[in-house]
Structure formats: structure tokens, C-alpha cells
Structure 1
């Protein structure tokens, strides 16, 4: 019997032991190579683009010859104004990608010996960088579409006679949101957040090619898809697959997201649901990629991303 990829040595190409034994200097050089791959790690001014810069080695900073601007390897990136060492940043990325269902900020804070606030913001910055891969994505081929509702939990009353039917809209908290996933049968995923499943149709028009074939369930919100695409439906109350028509890939995504919500994070606040949804889509798309390659992908995305306007100074303002 063939060994499962995730159980093989090919899936484990980087470890925390390797990160902490490489030392600060080698971690710093790794970030330089990722920031400026075109110049083989030689500094390029982020302000004027000049390729000539003095290196202030005592502070690990550079000074541009053209505009005299001082900058570091993380200036203008998501890690701008960082205080953690490069070894800790690289270790945080490895810890983050190694979690199959995500990693809680509390665990990151304990593993790196940093405050919870630091781990929380750092994890969200990594999620923001991961979302770059999904920006402007166009899906084609066989695309499975499904929606799942998250958040808005209403705790039942203690006494049975006081309990209400929480399935009714009148008894809901009003905070429940729908995560809609569009997933190619052999490829990429694209999640987004709406109030109700049927509200996702305009997003489908923007992100799914007109020649694609759509597989969806019996939900009434997907009836409008028949007007624009070759759409096949599956009634889950009768069967889960019919002659190749199914939404199993979409259900696999929701399984990972729900396990992350219930088992890892325990609670996901509504304003941040889109970031967790994007993270789980990234994990699903790259689940057969070695963890070393995953870490490199996230690090490349971090160094290619601009300063996070959502998370820079998060705890210093009224968020």
C-alpha cells in the first residue's frame, strides 16, 4: 500500500529545530534573499528604487545612495516596525504553517514566549499575507459552490420550558454569517462572506468563468446560477453524489474551517471571519505541499506585501 503523502518524509522538509539552530545571521540572510530575490539579497531602496545602498551592519539597516533614505529588510512590508528577532519571525511562520487546522494565538505566544497581543497580531498579519494568493483569482473547469453558516451562537436556557427554537430567525443573535466557498475540482479555492447564501451570486459572476461547470446543492439561493452557467445540482437529502455531481471538495473545506473554529480557536469574531476563511482555503489548496515549501510561500508573501493598514498599531488605537 502506498504511504499517504502527509505521513511521508517528503511532507516534512523544515522543523523548528532547524530554524533555531540556523542562528540569527542565517535567518537574516534568508529574509534578505526573499525580500530582494532579483538582486540576490542586495538591498534595493523601497522609496526610490536605487540599487546602491550603504549597509549599516551594526544596526542591520541600509542607507540609500540616491535619496539618503534609511531602511531595513522589513521596511515597507507586513513586518515593518518589527521587534521580534528574525529567528522568531521565521519560527512563527513554521509554527503557523504546521497547524493543519490553524494555530491559536495562545499557543504561538507560549511557543515563542511573547505576549498574547503580539502573537494575535502576528498571526493575523500572516493570514493577510496568505490572502494575496487569492486576490483576483478566476476559477474555471468544474467549480463546486456551497455555503456554511458560522458564528452567532445562542446559548440555550437552563430550563427546558424556557428554551426556544434557535433555528428560527427571531431567536437568533443576528451575528450569524455565511461563508461561501467556490472551489475548482482540481485546483484553487476562493471564499467570501455574505449574510445569506443567495447573496453570493454576484460574487460568482465576477469570479467564475462563463465556460465553467458549476456543481451546487439544492439550496434555493443557487437557482439563479442556471441562467449563466452549465449548473448541476445535488439533493443532499437523497444522496451525496450522483454520476460525478457533488460538492465534496467544498464540504472538505467546511470540515477544516469548522474544526478550526471549534477545536483550535473556540471562537471567531465576526469582523475577522473572512481572514480565517481565507487561511483555511490556503491550507486546503496547499495540503499536499511540503511544509518547508509552505513556509517559503508564506515568507515570500509577507515580504511582498505592503504595510498592513488593518494590523499595524492595532493595540495602540481604538480598533
Structure 2
């Protein structure tokens, strides 16, 4: 049997299929500045097919008033105020050409386990600081889809689980000097848990807490009554029995048993662990939730082509107000 016949007989992963490839980075870099501007305009002002709408007064009679360096700017005839395509959005006051932002989003979406910002800085020829901030702005855009999300309902099942990140304590060199890092007094105090609620064949909702037990109130507020919850044997989830029908699975006995499993949640944690170990190496602290939200978005949109993903992130970024984490921020002058 020929090699191509063997391949055709195998179940094909979505990322290997033609439908997964909707846009290439080469296409972005072949764009002219005007084409990049047109792309952003049509995403920002979909209702007017790219015709500028003043963010200050809502006027529709704006005209081009380019700066001396050639960058696009508009001037509203009604209120006489200037604005750009990105004014009042996540990319407000941008310094790079719009084509570079399109390239950054394309690179970011193409990496299914996340993108290293050190690598991004080399790809785009920008500083690590600029790439770091840009990456987190794209995570903010992705998080916009998760904001206020509620899951479940009658006839629906969700999986609930938690995984701890950060607060690593390096063991001493000599064995006699090592401490039991499982004990509370020997921990750093910085370790936090990502708790995920995930519908079976549905959406994902992550949150960050100090302990799993603190997540029960959040789960009750976001999971509809009548939902069947799958959880492991941890005592943290016992309180959920008061409101929901529960299916519990002891992972010391099996991964799934008698219809109970948390595989949907474990799939999410597999993605975020691979991102932590192989890409970012450190995703704890103030930005842990942003990384969890990014992996949630990637998991939920894994069957969407890269071109569709790029368009969606552009749309989310241009519909969101300036960054809450990185507006006037660097070197910790403003707390995250």
C-alpha cells in the first residue's frame, strides 16, 4: 500500500485538514499598508462596510487627514475631533504599522499551545516588552468572549476540576537539607489554583482561586440549576451536592466509571500544562487568569480555521476599550 493511501485511511486531525488553513502569514506580509488599513476598517466598522464612524460623537462625515508620516487619521466634520482606526480600542495609541498587528495576531493564533513572546519579538523585530504587552492585549481580547459566561441547564453536563500553578520552591542541593514541600509551612504562599468548568461538547469557563474550596460560590453563580456536574473525589466539591446532581469519579480507581468522568476538564488542563512547560515556562502570578482565559478560548475554537480565529481576535480587540492591564503600564508603575 502506498504511503498516501495509508495516510488517507487514517483519521485526520483537524489541524492537518485543508479547512484548518484559512490564512497564511505570507499573505499578511504581502499586504500593502492600504490593504491592512482596509482590513482593520472593515472589522472595526462592519455596519458601514469600513466607512469611519467618529468614536467621540458617532458622526458619519469623517474624512482622511493623514499625518506627515503617512499614518491614517480621520477628522470628524461634526465635532472636529481627530481619531484613528484603533482609537478607543485595545490597540489605541499603537506605535507599529497596522500590518504588523495583523501579523502578530496571525502568529499568535497559529500556535495552538500558545506563543512565546520572546519568539514573537524576534519574528516582528520588536522589543520583548512590546511583544509581552501585545500578547496580553490579545489575551484580553480573547477573554471578552468569556466575560459573564454561564453554563449548563436542564439536560446538560459539565466537568469541574482544578490544577495548581506557580509558587515553585526549589529543593535544597543536599538531601539532608531538603524539606517536605507538600507541607503548608514549606510552601511559598504564591501557589494558586485554576478551576475550570467545562460543558461536555460545549464552552469552557476558567477562574483563579487560592484553593479549590473557594471556587464553589463561583461555580454556583455560573452553572445553571438542573445541570449534572462531574467532579473527582476531592472534598472541595462536596458542597456542590446541595444544589446539583453530582457524578463523582475516584481517579485512583479509574479515569471514567459508571458514566462519570472529568475528561473535558482534563483536556483543558492538558493544553495549559503543555503551554506552561513547553512555551511560557512560568504562567503564575498576576497574569495566571489571562493565560487560563487564552487556553480556554483556544480550546473552544480549536475547530475554527486560523483565518477565522484571526478575524475573531481582531474583532474582539477592536470592540473592546483600552486595556485594563496595560494602559499606561510598564515596570510596575501601575499595578496589574
Interval of TM-score (by shorter of Structure 1 and Structure 2): over 0.9
Q: Within the alignment, does 1:128 sit opposite 2:137 as a pair? A: no
The equivalent position to 1:181 in structure 2, one of 196, 221, 224, is 196
| CA–CA distance in structure 2, aligned partners of residues 178 and 24 of structure 1 | 44
- Structure 1 runs (4+) deviating above 4 angstroms are none
Match of 1:146, SS state, is strand
Residues 218 and 102 of structure 1: CA distance in aligned 2, closer, same or farther (over 3 Å): same
The equivalent position to 1:164 in structure 2, one of 179, 183, 189, is 179
The equivalent position to 2:292 in structure 1, one of 277, 283, 287, is 277
| CA–CA distance in structure 1, aligned partners of residues 238 and 163 of structure 2 | 17
Cα distance per residue 1:202-255 (max 9 Å; x no partner): 101111010211000001010011110111110101111013210001011111
Match of 1:281, SS state, is helix
Cα distance per residue 1:112-156 (max 9 Å; x no partner): 000001000000000001100001111011110000000000000
Q: Which runs of 5+ in 1 are unaligned?
A: none
The equivalent position to 1:223 in structure 2, one of 219, 225, 238, is 238
The equivalent position to 1:194 in structure 2, one of 203, 209, 227, is 209
Mapping of 1:136-151 within 5 angstroms? 136-140=148-152, 141-151=156-166
| CA–CA distance in structure 2, aligned partners of residues 316 and 3 of structure 1 | 46
2:165·2:284 contact (CA, 8 Å) conserved in 1?
no
| CA–CA distance in structure 2, aligned partners of residues 258 and 66 of structure 1 | 52
Q: Within the alignment, does 1:14 sit opposite 2:23 as a pair? A: yes
What's 2:318 paired with?
303
2:113·2:272 contact (CA, 8 Å) conserved in 1?
yes
Q: Aligned pairs, how many?
A: 319
Deviation at 1:6, TM superposition (A): 1.2
Root-mean-square deviation over aligned CA pairs: 1.1
Q: Which runs of 5+ in 2 are unaligned?
A: 1-8
| CA–CA distance in structure 2, aligned partners of residues 194 and 281 of structure 1 | 16
Q: Within the alignment, does 1:314 sit opposite 2:329 as a pair? A: yes
2:20·2:305 contact (CA, 8 Å) conserved in 1?
yes
| CA–CA distance in structure 1, aligned partners of residues 281 and 248 of structure 2 | 33
What's 1:265 paired with?
280
What's 1:26 paired with?
35
Deviation at 1:299, TM superposition (A): 0.5
* TM-score, normalised relative to structure 2: 0.93
Deviation at 1:59, TM superposition (A): 4.0
Q: Within the alignment, does 1:88 sit opposite 2:100 as a pair? A: yes
